[in-house]
Amino acid sequence: VDPLDATRLREDFPILSEEVNGHRLVYLDSAATSQRPLAVLDAEREFLTHANAAVHRGAHTLAAEATDLFEDARATVAGFVGAEAEQLVWTSGATMGLNLVAYSIGNASVGRGAPASAGLALRPGDEIVTTAIEHHANLLPWQELAARTGAVLRHIPARDDGTLDLDAASEIIGERTRIVAFTHVSNVLGIVNPVDELIALARRVGALTVMDACQSAPHLPLDLPALGVDLAVFSGHKMLGPYGVGGLYGRAEVLEAMPPFLTGGSMITTVTLDHAEYLAPPQRFEAGTQPIGPAIGLAAAVRYLDGVGLDRIHAHETMLAERMRAGLVEIPGIRLLGDAEGAERVGLWSFDVDGVHAHDAGQFLDARGVAVRVGHHCAAPLHSRFGITASVRASTALYNTADDVDVFLDAVSGIRPYFGV
């Protein structure tokens, strides 16, 4: 693939020209939230300036225009992950998408939904399998669902190098497993997980698969139907799009069987004072006024990503990750998390600085214009697994340059000397 010209792309992201503490901003926090190109800001502004109206059932011209733009956005975002428009449910983000799935299954477990929903119901002793490296968003909804249904939560462990232990996985995923929920890419380790194998293990026992694609959608080409996963979620703001919008992808039969989670306007066929009939997916899961402008903005974001090309983005970020690793391993006292040999990765590294708290390291870097994230990154169990409570995370996106990495490395090499360790 042709290398991408990140210096050129940066012109589309005005915020990257900001100065921070007297230094050029080196933004290495895209795993928390990405920056947005002008095309995304313009798409939302254009919608709000010329076509803003509530969608569906409007009798007026603007409502029809807004509906077209909103449904076109759905088709565009669905297409970005290889799916059909009907397979894409708008959510407010990945957290909402995962809670939607868990609460829907909880509702099926108390007998709600169509006859097909019974197939999703959990009974006491059924097992939900997650992994030891999940973001809390793909852990807590399952803890809650287990507590409500009497299901048992089990975890696929991580090896010392941060890779998932597939031998253990094939033991753990068994006859009682009903759900296997896993992240495509860890937001702390940056390793691309062997999701094909996990899906195959789950299928062998007829378990439902739920994938957190937050950290893969902006970085790797994704074809969710080809992957064969049942359900997957992503967040708009991590993939150059607006806050407050995200997607839940589902296989048609699975979405069809799921009872609604949130209920209210815009998701019914008939309502009486005592009873309601619900629309087919995706509308069944879209109660209330949707984030219309953000959805249109997200469509512009995925068009931008597609325009650059996910293969080129992945190759560029792989180069940045290798450059970062090569520099970090030379700096005394830096311990990388998830430095697995030969693993496929996205462009992020988390690390511990011996003798310096992650928050102090983060402030030191910020004073030099380098924006990183510090803490447990909403993955506290993963940090416990590695015997630490916090780490420093540097995460790249398509707009980062080799120079960003060099400025970052130079700053990191100053941390321990500065703190006298």
Binding site for ligand PMP (CB under 6 A): 32, 93-95, 135, 137-138, 183, 187, 212, 214-215, 235, 378
What's the min distance (Å) between Cβ of 301 and ligand PMP?
Answer: 14
Residue of 63, 18, 16 whose CA lies nearest to 38: 16
Residue of 115, 95, 161, 116 whose CA lies nearest to 252: 116
Residues 238 and 33: beta-carbon distance below 8 Å: yes
The whole-angstrom separation of Cα 38 and Cα 49 is 16
Task: Please indicate whether residue 214 is annotated as part of the active site.
Answer: no
What's the min distance (Å) between Cβ of 137 and ligand PMP?
Answer: 4
SS3 content of the chain, % helix, strand, coil (to 5): 45, 20, 40
What's the min distance (Å) between Cβ of 323 and ligand PMP?
Answer: 23
Task: Pick the closer one to ligand PMP by CB: 67 or 193.
Answer: 193
Task: Pick the closer one to ligand PMP by CB: 236 or 250.
Answer: 236
> Tokens representing 216?
């893969």
> Tokens representing 27?
């933004």
The whole-angstrom separation of Cα 320 and Cα 318 is 5
The whole-angstrom separation of Cα 1 and Cα 420 is 45
Task: Pick the closer one to ligand PMP by CB: 113 or 294.
Answer: 294
Task: Pick the closer one to ligand PMP by CB: 35 or 187.
Answer: 187
The whole-angstrom separation of Cα 67 and Cα 38 is 23
CA dihedral 336, 337, 341, 342 (to 10 degrees): -110
Residue of 188, 217, 214 whose CA lies nearest to 398: 217
Active-site annotation holder among 378, 380, 388, 402: 378
What's the min distance (Å) between Cβ of 97 and ligand PMP?
Answer: 8
Residues 421 and 354: beta-carbon distance below 8 Å: yes
Task: Pick the closer one to ligand PMP by CB: 67 or 138.
Answer: 138
Q: Which residues are catalytic?
A: 378
